[in-house]
């Protein structure tokens, strides 16, 4: 991959290295709960989840279907408000009384990138135009946008495919373009929901390695919901969801468990 520097603040010194105790978190969840419904039909999807993500970290979120992973990701991405508890992004309170983020939608565009199981590229736009759209929505000047598109696609090694429509790209290439689109506005937080589920093992690991590269090079915090235990060695931390309860697991123990499964 070619070098890519963020246009804003320099990469933090702790990107890709153990985080010091006084480092500011990119994302912090404090006793976050999410309950759907009420009364006898109430379902607690997430119960008192607490964690923090820091610049340069790539974190896995594991758990069986229905364990609350998607609900946690939606709250982390400001797509759903928690029933209780607090969500903070770069130290700013995003929900409840005293929230310092007045416009969550605008804040989300500038500070959070999303990558989903399917690339969801617009089929009649080229790879470059799909990335350009994210920049246009954020009112980035045209000349600056073109430079950013070229930098991103070169960094992700798909610049030679910039004029191709999505149906002319392989599955791995489509996900790379989706990552470029997610990173277009240089968000400090990247959230990915099962991004390798539709890929074979080789391409899946390439995408996971790409997230690792983004965390290390750009100082982004990357949270990946995944069932793919084959790439756990790439993660700095592993979080586990079970019946709505969040816990942290040692990477080495999870690797050993995967090896003997």
Q: In angstroms, rounded to a whole number, what is the distance separating the alpha carbons of residues 87 and 81?
A: 9
Give the contacts of 66 (CB within 8 A, at least 6 positions apart). Answer: none
Which strands form 43-53's sheet, in the order they lie side by side? 43-53, 27-36, 84-89, 92-93
pLDDT digits (tens, 9 = 90+) for 161-190: 999 999 999 988 999 999 999 999 999 999
pLDDT digits (tens, 9 = 90+) for 104-120: 888 898 899 999 988 99
Question: Average pLDDT of 115-136?
Answer: 94
The two tokens of residue 116 are 């989903």
Question: Average pLDDT of 139-150?
Answer: 93
Domains of the chain: 55-69+105-260 (3.40.50.300)
Contact 190, 113 (CB under 8 A): yes
pLDDT digits (tens, 9 = 90+) for 29-56: 999 999 999 888 999 999 999 999 999 9
**DSSP reduced 3-state for 162:** coil
pLDDT digits (tens, 9 = 90+) for 225-260: 998 888 999 999 999 999 999 999 887 766 666 666
In eight-state DSSP terms, residue 245 is: E
Contact 226, 64 (CB under 8 A): no
**DSSP reduced 3-state for 211:** helix
CA distances from 167 to 51, 123, 127, 218 (A): 39, 7, 10, 29
Residue whose entry in the numeric block shows the structure tokens 């990173």: 183
Residue 106, classified by CB atoms within 10 Å of its CB into exposed (0-12), middle (13-18) or buried (19+), is exposed
Would you tell me how many other CB atoms lie within 10 Å of the CB of residue 164?
15
pLDDT digits (tens, 9 = 90+) for 213-222: 889 988 999 9
């Amino acid at each position: 991959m070619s070098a890519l520097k963020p246009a804003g603040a320099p990469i933090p010194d702790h990107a890709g290295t153990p985080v010091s105790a006084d480092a500011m978190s990119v994302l912090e969840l404090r006793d976050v709960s999410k309950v759907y419904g009420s009364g006898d039909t109430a379902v607690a999807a997430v119960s008192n989840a607490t964690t923090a993500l820091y610049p340069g970290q790539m974190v896995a979120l594991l758990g069986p279907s229905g364990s609350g992973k998607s609900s946690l990701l939606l709250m982390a991405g400001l797509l759903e408000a928690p029933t209780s508890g607090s969500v903070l992004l770069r130290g700013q309170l995003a929900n409840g009384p005293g929230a310092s983020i007045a416009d969550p939608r605008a804040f989300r565009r500038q500070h959070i990138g999303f990558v989903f199981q399917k690339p969801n590229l617009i089929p009649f736009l080229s790879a470059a135009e799909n990335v350009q759209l994210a920049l246009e929505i954020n009112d980035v000047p045209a000349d600056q946008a073109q430079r950013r598109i070229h930098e991103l696609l070169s960094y992700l090694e798909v610049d030679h495919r910039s004029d191709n429509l999505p149906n002319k790209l392989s599955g791995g290439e489509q996900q790379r373009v989706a990552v470029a689109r997610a990173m277009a506005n240089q968000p400090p937080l990247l959230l990915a929901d099962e991004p390798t589920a539709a890929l074979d093992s080789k391409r899946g690991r390439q995408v996971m390695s790409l997230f690792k590269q983004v965390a290390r090079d750009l100082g982004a915090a990357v949270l990946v919901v995944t069932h793919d235990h084959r790439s756990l060695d790439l993660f700095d931390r592993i979080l586990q969801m079970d019946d709505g309860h969040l816990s942290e697991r040692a990477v080495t123990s999870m690797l050993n468990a995967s090896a003997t499964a």
